[in-house]
Amino acid sequence: MVLEANGREEIARRDVINACRRGDPDAFRALFEAHKNRVYSIALRYSGNTAAAMDIAQDTFLKVLSQIQKFRGDADIETWIYRIAVNACLDHQRRTRRLLPFLSELIETISVRGESVLHRLMRDQTSSDVQRVIARLPAEQRMVVVLRYTEGLAYDEIARILGCSAGTVASRLNRAHKILERKLSHLRGVVGNA
Amino acid sequence: MHKGWYEPALARELSPVAAPDGLWERIQNPRPRVQRNVKPTFLRACATLACIAMVLSVVLLRPSRQEIRSANPAEVQAWIRTKAGVDIPLRSHLPAEIRLTGARMVNGRAEIAYLVSGRACRATRQPSPSKHAFALSCTNPSDLKLACALCHIG
């Protein structure tokens, strides 16, 4: 029964992809709806910035739309879209450098609607510390951390998306863990309660 | 898998989020990205221009100033001759109250520095049809008249 359901799902998925290739707008909307949260989550967790995340998600789906003809089905459509999202994140980072991170964060803080500035500024220190350390991880390590913790992907899935070996993924994750552990050491004993 | 004590916080901070409703609208009507950050190429261009301006200001706009510190009239005279192409006949033995301290070139003009009874004076050679014309400046105006003694007796 499960196999039968999976088979039907796969056929439906291929139908959607084929319809997208034919330029069917409803099919693209269906593809978008199926992947929008994943793409946006990766973009937001990687960039740490809602405006940047919107730009990255926009770029990702426009690329999906323009490149769907070239999708040969060698990989899963999810893996293919993840890969485009990862490249969009890296491209965005290359294009823009956050010269004034503190000012940028302040602008973001002030522009958040429905939340008092004071409340925002007084938000849990732990949260901001963790985000700050993640944001300063080297790009390749940060991406592995995001794919692992935001998407809960396995090493081999991450490896397929990034085009590297599972061993490389493990190595990058291990290095990221060491950095996180060292730079968040002041939060030891606090994190569990935060 | 590595299990760090910080992993609960990591999982919380990196938890998945729902895409905003406006995302579909953005994809249907793509708009240029919000340029809240300065492009690196623009920054590099600015930095390059700033460096060029700095170098030009140092090289071109800096007053060409060269200097000799010496109490020896012959040495100062020779230096001025070399640098300014003029021969100022400084006396080899100056009066006791005058002490030569050196000379410098300021914008192509030779300036002789000396002390009168310990007070600073300067004689700057001026472009003039006459052989030697100087602009004098002394801490004490009464010392101006002693400038003649640099070259002339009495």
- At residue A127, the pLDDT reads 77
- At residue A119, the pLDDT reads 45
Sign of CA dihedral A41, A42, A45, A47: negative
Alpha-carbon span A27 to A24, nearest angstrom: 5
Cα angle, residue A152 at apex, residues A148 and A157 outer, rounded to 5°? 75
* Average pLDDT rounded to a whole number, residues A91-113: 58
Domains and CATH numbers, chain A: 1-98 (1.10.1740.10), 124-189 (1.10.10.10)
pLDDT bucket at B130, cuts 50 / 70 / 90: low
Residues of A in Cβ contact (< 8 Å) with B24: 29, 32, 36
Strand order in the sheet with B65-69: B65-69, B98-106, B109-116, B119-125, B134-138
Tally of CB atoms within 10 A around A171: 14
Residue found under tokens 């302040």: A106
Q: For chain B, what are the domain ranges?
A: 65-150
- Across chain A, mean pLDDT equals 81
The answer to whether the Cβ–Cβ distance between B9 and A40 falls below 8 Å is no
Those residues with Cβ within 8 angstroms of residue A99's Cβ, 6 or more apart along the chain or in another chain? B37, B38, B43
- At residue B10, the pLDDT reads 84
* Average pLDDT rounded to a whole number, residues A75-104: 78
Q: Which of residues 29-58 of B touch A (CB under 8 A)?
A: 30, 33-34, 36-40, 43
Q: Which of A35, A98, A110, A177 to mutate to test the interface with B (most CBs of B within 10 A)?
A: A177
The answer to whether the Cβ–Cβ distance between B9 and A187 falls below 8 Å is yes
Which tokens in the block code for residue B63?
A: 């007053």
Overall pTM > 0.80? no
Strand-pairing partners, residue A187, are: none
- Across chain B, mean pLDDT equals 82
The answer to whether the Cβ–Cβ distance between B17 and A174 falls below 8 Å is no
Q: Is the model more confident about B52 or about B41?
A: B52
